[in-house]
């Protein structure tokens, strides 16, 4: 029913995650009403990201070319991998680049990362071969990695990925740990769900240890 | 925390209506992971819409330039205004271009449209001067309009706009009607809210009339 350029935009917007047909229509009309320079800034931001940002060839985190306008080469490394002060013997394995940001915010971790770019999820058709697991195995041999900290979401997909990796790595000379699951700091025991409280009990530690 | 190109994209996405910071991040990572050609199609669709689509100079509906690549000139008219078979004496006044599509789908209306591009809403800072009301008044004189059908949403903003227009137009030689508000076809009297049922009673008509 709409002019074809408008319908094309609605269709493209509707393919974005979390954007249904009604939201796509609403966003398209919003873009139509916006002054051209504001709407074109979004188009330009997409173009810039696709030309300048790619994955770090080592850890598969986001890697951005530092020269404006330059394409990210397939040999690009991310800022963390390029930082020689980071401890190469400890690698924090995460699902997504946003998890790297979350761990960095704690300022507790001085090692490197490995981004699997997903988690095992049979329901979504994601198996181990879709993840950056082969590349992780290669790094363990090449970079003298001593400990892998599995930093996955405490849900079914995270659990499945942790289980798969721990079995795969059990014969390699590398320590594999997983971050603790339990009550969030400031949380209230009374309102904790049973699964979280169960995990917290399971992961109990000696006081003063 | 993110590379600047990625952060720019998240910021731009976060300005879209209904897209919060978390959705913006999710959409940005989705675009990062997409094959370049798929992500760039969205950027291209935005560019195309902003260069080829503008407002009809007569009715302020969407008007698209018909030559691909050509910019929509400020003298462009929409398909409906260009269609000489449409009755120029009856004008359906709507809030947004999507309302034109809704009325067209009924196949009941063969007149023309006028899109106000909004409704009076003091809470959102939209007054009569932000709407295409001056242009509507000009059309009544120039085009021999005999009836205006106010086809606004049955809510506070639609009511306020209808009231404003009916007062403004009361001394002009034009009939002003508003679409009926009442029970939706197939609806259930028992489950109708009081306001809708009240409107339905108020708008009752002679059976057989």
Q: Residue A180: its pLDDT value, please?
A: 87
Residue B32 has pLDDT above 60, yes or no: yes
Alpha-carbon Rg of chain A, whole angstroms? 21
Is residue B53 located within the same domain as residue B92? Answer: no
Give pLDDT tens digits for A45-55: 999 999 888 88
If asked whether residues B201 and B115 sit together in one domain, one would say: yes
Q: Estimate the crossing angle of helix A4-14 against helix B36-52, to 10 degrees.
A: 150
Predicted TM-score (pTM) of this structure: 0.75
pLDDT at A206: 77
- pLDDT digit string, tens, across residues B60-93: 999 887 665 556 565 688 889 999 999 999 999 9
Percent of chain B with pLDDT over 70: 94
Looking at residue B69, its pLDDT comes to 56
Residue A205, classified by CB atoms within 10 Å of its CB into exposed (0-12), middle (13-18) or buried (19+), is exposed
Reported ipTM? 0.75
- CA-closest candidate to residue B196, choices B181, B206, B179, B178: B181
Tell me if A39 and B50 make a contact (CB, 8 A cut-off).
Answer: yes
User: Which segments in chain A show pLDDT lower than 70?
Assistant: 1, 66-75, 208-209
Task: Say if residue B185 is in the same domain as residue B93.
Answer: yes
Identify the pLDDT of residue B132: 95
- Which among B112, B104, B63 has a CA at the least distance from the CA of A4? B63
The pLDDT assigned to A192 comes to 82
Identify whether residues A123 and A75 lie together within a single domain. Answer: no
Kindly report the average pLDDT of chain B as a whole number: 88
B155 and B92 both lie in a single domain? yes
- CATH number of the domain where residue B20 is located: 1.10.8.420
B128 and B55 housed in the same domain = no
- A186 and A92, same structural domain? yes
Per-residue pLDDT at B67? 61
**Residues on chain B touching A49 (C-beta within 8 angstroms):** 5-6, 8-9, 28, 31-32, 39
Of B6, B25, B48, the CB nearest to A8: B48
Q: Look-up: residue for tokens 């000009």? A: B138
**Per-residue pLDDT reduced to its tens digit, B164-203:** 999 999 889 999 998 888 888 888 888 888 888 888 888 8
> Are B64 and B102 found together in one domain?
no
Q: Nearest-CA neighbor of A105 among B175, B126, B153, B1? A: B1
Separation CA A177–CA A91 (nearest Å): 10
Q: Is B38 among the domain residues?
A: no
B25 with B126, same domain: the answer is: no
* Total of domains in chain B: 3
CB contacts under 8 A, A 72-91 vs B, are 79
Residue-level pLDDT at A71: 62
Q: Is residue B140 part of a domain?
A: yes
* Burial status of residue B49 (CB atoms within 10 A of its CB: 0-12, 13-18, 19 or more): buried
Please report the residues numbered 42 through 61 in chain B whose beta carbons come closer than 8 angstroms to any beta carbon of chain A.
42-50, 52-53
Q: Which domain holds residue B16?
A: 4-33
């Amino acid at each position: 029913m709409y002019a074809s350029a408008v319908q094309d935009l609605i269709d493209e917007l509707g393919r974005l995650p979390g954007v249904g047909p009604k939201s796509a229509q609403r966003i398209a009309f919003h873009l139509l009403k916006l002054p051209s320079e504001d709407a074109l800034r979004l188009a330009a931001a997409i173009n810039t990201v696709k030309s300048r940002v790619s994955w770090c060839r080592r850890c598969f985190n986001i890697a951005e070319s530092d020269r404006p306008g330059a394409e990210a080469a397939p040999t690009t490394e991310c800022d963390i991998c390029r930082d020689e002060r980071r401890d190469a013997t400890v690698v924090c394995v995460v699902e997504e680049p946003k998890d790297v940001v979350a761990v960095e915010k704690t300022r507790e971790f001085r090692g490197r990362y490995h981004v699997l770019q997903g988690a095992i999820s049979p329901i979504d058709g994601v198996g181990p071969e879709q993840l950056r697991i082969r590349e992780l195995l290669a790094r363990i041999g090449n970079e003298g990695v001593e400990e892998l900290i599995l930093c996955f979401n405490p849900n079914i997909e995270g659990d499945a990925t942790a289980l798969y990796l721990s079995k795969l790595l059990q014969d390699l000379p590398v320590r594999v740990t997983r971050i603790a699951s339990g009550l969030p700091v400031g949380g209230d025991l009374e309102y904790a769900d049973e699964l979280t409280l169960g995990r917290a009990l399971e992961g109990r530690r000696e006081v003063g240890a």
